[in-house]
Amino acid sequence: MRLFRLILALTVLPMCVPAQAGERELLEAIKQANWPVVKQETEQLASAGNAWGLYMKAAFIGGILCQDASSPCKPIPGFELDRKAAGQYLLAAAEKGERQAFDYLAFGYERGLWGLPVDREAAIAWSLKGLHLMDERSASRYYALTGLKRGSLLPGAHFGSRQ
């Protein structure tokens, strides 16, 4: 079931962002459950500073893709769980604009996960950035954290703008 969720999450991404060299290989390796290649491609992308590669490394070492699992998270073969380092990779991915990282980073700051301190203001700020990118998960988190109603004027929005 966990592998199915992982594959499902990763197959939706290519529809949103055209894959670059390395990203295609990583997606293909995940689909084939070729874990040595998954490890190699993830490390190469993250080392190159690729935003999605940084996010995927955070996801693999932080147990991010199995947060909703009913059983304890089992690491992806080849990756050791290192939740503290995962927070740093998430932050790096978000700073480079990786859309998926915004909500997870906000969640990390909200709950004090992945080596991130509990910081409500940081959680609000990152969820707002994701909301501005039209990320529905970030939007839900932003409205829950702030108590604002959907459709409210957002910080940084101007009268007449689409927000």
Per-domain boundaries in the chain:
2-146
pLDDT score recorded for residue 119:
95
pTM assigned to the model: 0.73
Confidence check: pLDDT of 66 > 80:
no
**Least confident range of 71-75, 122-126, 138-142:** 71-75
* CATH assignment of 2-146, among 1.10.10.10, 3.40.710.10, 1.25.40.10, 3.40.640.10: 1.25.40.10
pLDDT score recorded for residue 148:
78
Apex 39 CA angle, 50 and 59, nearest 5: 65
Confidence check: pLDDT of 163 > 60:
no
Tell me which amino acid residue 44 is.
Answer: Q
pLDDT score recorded for residue 145:
86
Q: Which two tokens stand for residue 122?
A: 């940081």
